[in-house]
Structure 1
Amino acid sequence: MITINPYLNFKGNTEEAFNFYKSVFGGEFLGLMRFGDTPGCENMPEADKSKIMHIALPLGKNNILMGTDVLECAGADCAGADFKVGNNISLSLSPESEEEADKLFAALAEGGQVVMPLEKAFWGDYFGMVTDKFGIQWMVNYAYQQEAAGAERVAEANA
């Protein structure tokens, strides 16, 4: 079954926002990664290295609130150039297979705009971003470890 989770973008205060959400909803952060931890960050301004590249806070049984800081940068095709409240949320899909990810991504991209092609990302997942023909921003992220976990459950069930 596909899961869908909100992905929030903030203008440099993701950590503050997520500490607030943690105080409201409880739980513990998952997958906290700072921009300074990413490949190719050597030429990044020092102030940006401490900002949040990705953070996740589980909400309830199967929901995750995720977020990032949108960095300032130059150029019209830079995400930071177009940031404003209202366009600062994406819907993140977690399909059950790479094939399903391809199918969903292609369907959402039809008549829309591919922001980041669907491909294996440096963190190991199959990831892409697209804005559909209605202006809705989508992220498709298939986690390969899902396959491994599923295979383990099948092996345990057969043991």
Structure 2
Amino acid sequence: MQIQPYLFFEGRCEEALEFYKKTLGAKVDVVMHYKDAPKDAQPTAEQCGGMAPPLDKVMHAAFRVGETQVLASDGMASGKADFKGFGLSVSVADKAEAERTFKALGDGGQVTMPMSETFFANAFGMVTDRFGITWMVIAPKPM
């Protein structure tokens, strides 16, 4: 069994993929747009609660950060991404990498807990990126 996060960017998926490539070194495995689906498999407004997704938006994408695969989509491209009740944690090798990653993810976002040393980490901080995803960046102390 495997659990994979599936993030719905509501119209900003391609922008998010480029951002994570730049900030986290993400590798994009696949990007499928709604228009790429076979004609008989494209979602209709009736199937989607009265609103058909724009054909130029991302139906499904997969990208990797390190060994973790993350799935993503534009969803219905409503423009109202609402990432609440969870965060993503990224563990890095050392304090310098933690600070670099934290700063990069925070570009256009908001720091919710400044980077600092804690009893469990050489560096730990929380930031919400420009897409509304909360990230916990940690350079753990050896336990």
TM > 0.5 fold call:
no
Range of TM-score over shorter length: 0.3 to 0.5
TM-score by length of 1: 0.40
With normalisation by structure 2, the TM-score equals: 0.44
If each structure's helix is expressed as a fraction of its own residues, which one has the higher value?
A: 1
